[in-house]
Amino acid sequence: MNILIAEDTPFLQLLNRELMNHWGYDFDMASNGIEALDFALENEGKYDLGLMDIEMPVMNGLEAAQLIRQKVKYFPIMAYTSNPTYRKQCFECGFDEFIDKPTASESLFKKINELTVKAVLLHSENNNISIEQVTPMNSDDLNELRALKQKGLTKLKLVGTDQTFIVHRNIQNKISSDLIGEGKEISEFIDRSIQEPGRCHLYKVNLHVTKDLFIPEELEEAIKKEDEIAISFSKSTDKNLPK
């Protein structure tokens, strides 16, 4: 986990450092909006989250967030300020979430985990499969992933195709075990999309997928069985997939 923190108060910088180290997160610390923008530009694609104070010298958080949105590939940004009157402006400037300062460390930790949700991306090259987590493409994508996470689901995307599936949040570990660990040529999973739920057969060669659609009475039982399988692959995605 890589977090960009923008905070000008030395005591709060120290507190944030201690929290990030305690949680095991990597981070960069900026003292104003200009520094935050520079970090974002120099490390594009690195950050899973921005934690942004608003009232800072040189450049405030509102200006910094606007410029980051204009110049840098999307990553979630959360406003963290003691002035609640900035809430509307923050969302207008491109923030994804707003949290009052101070807040309990447990609440901050929960919000960070809500905002750093990711989709799963499958690559295939020369019959070799790789799986990684990817940051949302935009705020709409983030909101969809946050809603799916509450249901224990995520999105599975296949590189080189326009195919995206709604799957159990641990099913990528089963796919990895099937296609990489055991060297199987086919792995099965359930696409839980509302429009066309079905049993998918993922072929290792070129990530080709076929899908058998469910009739309503079959779906519930199939999901129950897959949930049991997914629990056996319940190690956290962060520990099993490259960041």
Backbone angles phi, psi at 103, to 5 degrees: -140, 155
Q: Which residues contact 179 (CB under 8 A, 6 or more apart)?
A: 129, 185, 187, 202, 204
Domain check: are 147 and 222 in the same one? Answer: yes
CB atoms within 10 A of CB 21: 11
Count of domains forming the chain: 2
When the pLDDT of each residue in the chain is averaged and rounded to a whole number, the result is: 91
Has residue 227 got a pLDDT over 60? Answer: yes
Give the residue-averaged pLDDT of 52-77: 97
Give the residue-averaged pLDDT of 128-155: 93
Give the residue-averaged pLDDT of 134-150: 95
Domain check: are 90 and 160 in the same one? Answer: no
Give the residue-averaged pLDDT of 152-172: 91
Q: What is the length of the chain?
A: 243
Give the residue-averaged pLDDT of 204-232: 87
pLDDT band at 234 (very low <50, low <70, confident <90, very high): low
Given 115, 133, 164, which residue is the final one in a domain?
115
pLDDT given at position 231: 81
Determine if the pTM surpasses 0.75: yes
What kind and span of H or E run contains 191? strand 186-191
pLDDT given at position 150: 93
Structural domain that includes position 124: 119-237
The DSSP call for residue 46 is T
pLDDT given at position 233: 76
pLDDT given at position 243: 38
Domain check: are 93 and 140 in the same one? Answer: no
- The answer to whether the bond into 102 is cis (omega within 30° of 0) is yes
Has residue 33 got a pLDDT over 50? Answer: yes
pLDDT given at position 242: 35
Give the residue-averaged pLDDT of 112-124: 93
CATH number at residue 73: 3.40.50.2300
Domain check: are 140 and 232 in the same one? Answer: yes
Given 115, 146, 175, which residue is the final one in a domain?
115
Percent of the chain exceeding pLDDT 90 equals: 75
Give the residue-averaged pLDDT of 204-221: 87
